[in-house]
Amino acid sequence: MMTGHRNLVLGLVYLRAVRQADWANLAEYGNLTPKVLVGWLESVAPGLHQVLREVHFAGPWQRLFGQLVRVVDQAVSARGGMEVYRFLLDWFSSMDGRRGGEFYTPRSLVRVLVEAVAPGPGARIHDPCCGSGEMLVAAAVHASRDGGEIPPVSGLTWTAELSEVARMNLAVHGVAGDVTPATGQALGGWLSETGPFDVIVTNPPFNMSLWKDQDTAYSRDWRYGPPPTHNANFAWLQHVALSLAPGGRAAVLMPNSASASESLRERDIRTGLVEDGRVEAVIALPSHLFYSTGIPATVWLLGRPTSARDEILFIDASGSGRLVDRTHRILTDEDVAAIADSVDRWRHEERGYGEGSGFSRSVPLEEVREHDYVLNPKKYLSTLPESVEGSGADRLHELRRQLERLRLQAVEVDASVDRELRRVGL
């Protein structure tokens, strides 16, 4: 679906859910013309002006316009604006394929990041690359789930259009916030006036090249060294780490390559982050969680500790999740809970947590130094002795991972058999 039509539908949901009085005063659906509605949307969401001007209502769109308005009205009445808006974001992202990754982070991934940082009441929450605002919404709701007020949030997007989509998402969920089209300025040293922040959750573009020219890469005060200009991964990691308030936490999605990159600059930055106590945990995730790419990713939990940190938690959740179709996997409620529980127990229990579990392990910095600051969880979990037993929950989790691998192999065999049968005409 074209971007303009996508934003038109999201705008309809926003108007129905948030501006109910205006919606009720609209002309009868049959008399509500596309031109009138687009003008109204532009008045409440100016950043959508350009993409809405590109919407053409010829052919089926002209005939179906009244029906579309009715469907939105009925859906929001039945399911609520929050659920409908979330559903549409997810659906549009899946339709956009590779382009969808800049627009939206799948819900199960958002839950992992938010549960891992566990925002509390009154937290100053930020996302420097907030897409449609899904991370900000989830973090704000988490911070208020024990009965507190929903805290205001702030975020940056790449374009004015995405800022409007994110603002509408926040409004539909009852979250106040400031979203600015300034992601491109973030790595140059721009910091929101609301910072530093207690919580940052973000999914920046992986391996972004040519993010700065050679001179400006050195113009910012990069505490752990200037990142390479051909890859912004460690620019994002540094920017997030340096934007945290004392005691703050962050969750950043990264490609697996960042945890073991052999680039001298990136290794030096990784070393600095570790030695300064900025890396709290690294979580390996399975492949096919994104609509835009099948590559696996890792979650970096960063912090600004108020005391020395002498261990890092590593979690290998690469065997988690279930396939919902041939190319897309989701993390189940049990998967998210296992990751969040491991992080929470590590934070609140004595060091040495997780030894022998095969799923998570707290690793002394001395061991990380011995491995030249490689932060791939498999490096620290795959070498555990098989004779060492973990808890019952850990053993069950490992059994489930093995069963999932066998199930995937069975799916591949079934598909291969089907292809051969079709080839011979059966």
Alpha helix segments (H runs only) across 26-59: 34-44, 49-53
On average, the pLDDT of the chain sits at: 82
**In the structure, what pLDDT confidence band is assigned to residue 148 with cuts at 50, 70 and 90?**
confident
In single-letter form, the type of residue at position 415 comes to A
Domains defined along the chain, listed by start: 3-79 (no CATH), 101-381 (3.40.50.150)
Please compute the mean of the pLDDT values over residues 390-411 and round it to a whole number. Answer: 56
Residue 388 pLDDT class (50, 70, 90 cuts): very low
Distance of CA 254 to the CA centre of its chain: 10
Q: Across residues 23-47, what is the average pLDDT?
A: 69
- CA-to-CA distance for 26 and 345, rounded, in angstroms? 53
The model's pLDDT over 178-206, given as tens digits with 9 standing for 90+, comes to 999 888 778 876 555 667 999 999 999 99
Across the beta sheet with 244-255, what order do the strands follow?
177-180, 153-156, 125-127, 197-202, 244-255, 297-303, 279-284, 311-316, 360-364
Mean pLDDT of 217-240: 85
Q: Is the pTM of this model over 0.85?
A: no
Q: How much is the average pLDDT of 35-55?
A: 73
Place of tokens 């492949």: 287
What are the angstrom distances between the C-alpha of 391 and each of 358, 365, 377, 397? 10, 24, 19, 10
Q: Summarize the confidence of residues 52-71 as an average pLDDT.
A: 70
Segment 83-126, tens digit of pLDDT = 999 999 988 888 765 554 567 899 999 999 999 999 999 999 99
Rounded to whole angstroms, how far apart are CA atoms 124 and 244?
10
What average pLDDT does the segment 277-306 reach? 92
What is the DSSP secondary structure assignment for residue 20, as one 8-state letter?
H
pLDDT at 189: 67
